[in-house]
Amino acid sequence: MPEALLEIEDLAVSYGAIQALHGVTLHVPAGSIVTLIGANGAGKSTVLKAVSGLVKPDRGIVRFKGRDLKAMAPHLIVRLGLAQSPEGRGVFPNMTVSENLLLGAYTRDDRAEIQRDLTRVHELFPRLSDRSRQAAGTLSGGEQQMLAMGRALMAHPELLLLDEPSLGLAPQVVDALFEIVKRINREGTTVLLVEQNAHLALETAHWAYVLETGMIILNGKASDVRNDPRVKAAYLGE
């Protein structure tokens, strides 16, 4: 495996008396798409929240570009080059599409580069350009997902965390979004993808991890994981 941009070692996280993660180890190589699949409640989103600084681990290592993230505030993690598109999209409904996108660049002061990234987001998601003055709350579910991803890209991340981007969307919209994920990756952004649609996730990713009840039970090349009988039976309906 190429050199890891993100390293997670023996990560344990609890919510009160409930332990959500039990010693998770996961590496994201620079330039790759890595997917984390698993059933609802397996702990996938908790992994992303621990990386983003939104939950504090009980133990373990979370390292990005060699820097320990565990004691770092979320806005400082964004400055390092890591941004998240959250589950449920989390757009600000009363703000315009344009205002939502510019919020993604709140840690930056390089105005010319911000404008370049805004142009790139509009190129990736032309509908956001068409609706730039529209309130985000009036967008369709697919458009809100585009906005959430675009807002994360406005931080100009080296690593993009995507949490359930297909959730609640029509298949046609999902296919289009995942083509954009591949393009973002080809253009140089590393992606860590949390996704319940195992078929699509394993078709899109280079590497895959399977999480069950807070533990990694399987990992490897996405094509190998796709062909594992346990994955076929539990996640692919085969």
pLDDT in tens, 97-150: 999 999 999 988 899 999 999 999 999 999 999 999 999 999 999 999 999 999
Specify the DSSP class assigned to residue 158: S
pLDDT interval class at 211 (50, 70, 90)? very high
pLDDT interval class at 87 (50, 70, 90)? confident
Distance CA 49, CA 164 (A): 13
- Residue 2, pLDDT > 80, answer no
Q: In the structure encoding, which two tokens stand for residue 115, read together?
A: 């404008």
Distance CA 42, CA 196 (A): 10
Average pLDDT rounded to a whole number, residues 72-90: 91
All structural domains of the chain: 1-80+192-238 (3.40.50.300)
Nearest Cα neighbor of 75 from 100, 122, 108 is 108
Q: What is the pLDDT of residues 127-139, one digit of tens each?
A: 999 999 999 999 9
pLDDT at 27: 97
More confident residue, 1 or 33: 33
Q: What is the pLDDT of residues 155-206, one digit of tens each?
A: 999 999 999 999 888 899 999 999 999 999 999 999 999 998 999 999 999 9
Least confident of 9-23, 28-42, 77-91, 188-202: 77-91
Look-up: residue for tokens 């080809």?
A: 186
pLDDT interval class at 1 (50, 70, 90)? low
Distance CA 220, CA 228 (A): 10
Q: What is the pTM of this model?
A: 0.94
Q: Are 155 and 105 in contact (CB under 8 A)?
A: yes
Q: Are 235 and 64 in contact (CB under 8 A)?
A: no
